[in-house]
Chain A
Amino acid sequence: MICDALLPLLRAPAMAERLTLADWDKVIRQARNANLSARIAWDLEQHGLLDAVPPGPRQHLIAARAVGQRQRIATLAEVDRVRRAIEQSGNRLVLLKGAAYLAAGLPASHGRVFGDIDLLVPHGRLADAESMLMCHGWVSSHLDAYDQRYYRQWMHELPPLRHMNRGSALDVHHNILPLSARHPPDANLLLEAAVPAEHTPGVWVLAPADMVLHSACHLFHEGELDNGMRDLVDLDGLLRHFSAQPGFWATLEQRAALLHLERPLRYALRMCALMLETPIPDTTLAFGGAWPSDLRERLLEQLYLRGLRPNDPTAGDRWTPLALHMLYLRGHWLRMPPHLLVAHLGRKAWRQWTGRSDEDDSDPDALTPEQQIQK
């Protein structure tokens, strides 16, 4: 039986009043794991329930709220610096994902944890953008020649850039799916439809339907689901907010067809409805046919029901490890054709075997205050 403690609380924050201390124990550890602590804190505060949480767990929510508030300020300040650099390169700054939700003042940004800043640049302008970002201090992080080539040849983004002094990380995209994927969408369609960010002058974000589609294709092409539930919560927040706009659902369906993103949209709608009870019109929910249309969808539903939980032992069942493994393979399968996949996974396995880990894990006693800059 899969029992995560977060979904019920995300769906109905008022249930917080009925939680025992042992329930809170699970909420706190799972929320920490899923990067949703600040979101839970935000929800409870909106419902006037934060002060009613027992002191032990409340401390963690207060701490998470402080992180969330700080990150909002820091991210907006950093966005402004990126904007200056990108404008100097003769482009306009089009933000993606978390930073876009924040710049556009969307409810999905409340209590959200921000990591890298993602932006979209026309493919032909990448070199200009990269060199101007470098002039402003963002340099390619320490990746070897293989990584550099892998990113530049096959991926939809440059190798991650990190600011020399402030440590902020940028992901510069030229598309929303890898070039090696089977049907990469036409990124120009996304750029042409971009709209000004309502709360941040000079910054642009994807149009509402495109924003949802990007979030969906990011989540349902991704093999590593460490932030899976957080991303699902993003989708839920976007859908709930944009559904108030007239014609939103019809536009969403049209754009999905135009950008070849019907499948990820189907999965996103289904999993949002199933896990977060997102209100979605029946006609849109049946977009592309009744669910599940085949065995594959039936299987994927079972996999994602497990994969989109917090990565905590208390939140899964005995099928969870297998599900995570299959979704990991699926993510890679979608990303590149088989011969590339075999070569790439072989390379990764060799690195792990020889102790050259890809993970950015740190030393336990590297307990130096400078660490916080990396956060």
Chain B
Amino acid sequence: MSDLAEADLYSRLSHDGLWLKSGPLSLHIRSDEPVVSEAIAALYPDHALADADFADFHVRVGRAEGLRRWIRPQVLFHLDGRTPFKPLPRAQSFAMLEWGINWCIATYCHQYLVIHAGVIERNGFAAILPAPPGSGKSTLTAALIQRGWRLCSDELTLLDPATAQVIALARPVNLKNKSIDVIRAFEPGTVFGPECPDTHKGRVAHLRPPRESVLRVGEGATPRWVIFPQWAAGVPLTTKAIPRAEAFIELAENAFNYSMLGETGFETLAKTIDACDCMSLRYSDLDEAVAAFERLAEDARQ
């Protein structure tokens, strides 16, 4: 991707489209919104181009028709010939593309058990971080991948039913509001895409995935921990073991297709949980949290 000049990237996106690899998936992306091109140039420099013959998803972010084409323009997300979502203001084009791709994976990729959770890897072992929005899951993921953990995904944990291994996507990390400033302060060298000021989620920006995470995206990871993070101001770091049965139910509730997969979903989740230590983690300070993850990784090596 980084071999593409920015002008070439824009011309591809606005004409025949960009064919991009993200882990096991090939994406064919079209958009003539300059902000999409700018964000892709900033956030996907290390991703491989995909062959232009087969794509898992053909997606496009384009201007909505009608009056709104000219007055306060809006954009629509297209999957094949359909537009599954309401239009959004044009400034949110790239955010809409990222959300849309997540939606495609969560809605169609039932070859995997798909869990709404961040997932990172160290020494071949994966930590799954399921949590409701606002729990600091993405912030924690963003911090850990600056400190030696490999990013598999910040939103979607894909588990392969055949092997119970984590399949990585290595797409940009979506951060909101204060988290953006927290991560900028935590690691000044991080690269962000263009910031989007006022989505209905608040301020949104995407973080470029570390180069190594992208290059190693094809490597699987063995689930080793299920950690439910909870950020709270001013609290000391505490971890608490969670019974496996409880973690199982929590993970199942955070899965997009657990019941859809029936027995396969149960078997996959059971294999995953059996191999994992399950705990909750309350923290206020990112450095402390990173150190706690470091200790977990050290213990697992022995």
Contact = CB atoms under 8 A, between A and B. Distances in A.
B262 A369 contact: no
Contacts of A371: 106, 256
A361 interface: yes
Contacts of B88: 364
A312 B81 contact: yes
Interface in B225-245: none
B222 interface: no
B98 to A, nearest CB: 9
A161 to B, nearest CB: 22
Interface in A97-114: none
Contacts of A28: 54, 56
A29 B80 CA distance: 6
Nearest to B115: A369
Contacts of B58: 29
Interface residues of B, number: 41
B17 interface: no
A367 B80 contact: no
Interface stretch (A17-25, A208-216, A248-256): A17-25
Q: Which secondary structure dominates chain A's binding surface?
A: helix
B256 A372 contact: yes
A37 B54 CA distance: 16
Nearest to B116: A369
Given A67-B110, A311-B81, A367 B260 contact: no
A282 interface: no
Contact of A369 (B103, B111, B256, B261): B256
Given A32-B80, A367-B99, A25 B260 contact: no
Interface string A297-325: 00000000000001111000000000000
A313 B26 contact: no
A365 B96 CA distance: 8
A88 to B, nearest CB: 27
Contacts of B56: 28, 56, 59-60
A364 B116 contact: no
Interface string A357-369: 1000111110111
A243 interface: no
B72 interface: no
Interface in A49-101: 54, 56-57, 59-60, 62-64, 66-67, 69-70, 73
Given A63-B108, A367-B99, A367-B102, A25 B55 contact: yes
A365 B201 contact: yes
B116 A33 contact: no
A63 B109 contact: yes
A210 B66 CA distance: 43
Interface in B150-181: 155
A59 B111 contact: yes
Contact of B260 (A54, A62, A70, A363): A70
B81 A313 contact: yes
Interface in B194-212: 200-201
Contacts of A54: 54
B157 to A, nearest CB: 12
B254 interface: yes
Interface in A322-369: 357, 361-365, 367-369
Contacts of A56: 26, 54, 56
A292 B150 CA distance: 65
Contacts of B155: 367
B116 A368 contact: yes
A364 B100 contact: yes
* Residue from A56, A73, A362 having most chain B Cβ neighbours under 10 A: A56
Nearest to A57: B54
Interface in B4-36: 24, 26
Given A313-B81, A361-B85, 5 more contacts: A63-B108, A64-B110, A73-B262, A311-B81, A367-B155
Ranked nearest first, the 8 interchain pairs of A and B with the lowest CB-CB distance are A63-B110, A364-B99, A364-B85, A312-B81, A22-B53, A25-B54, A21-B54, A66-B110
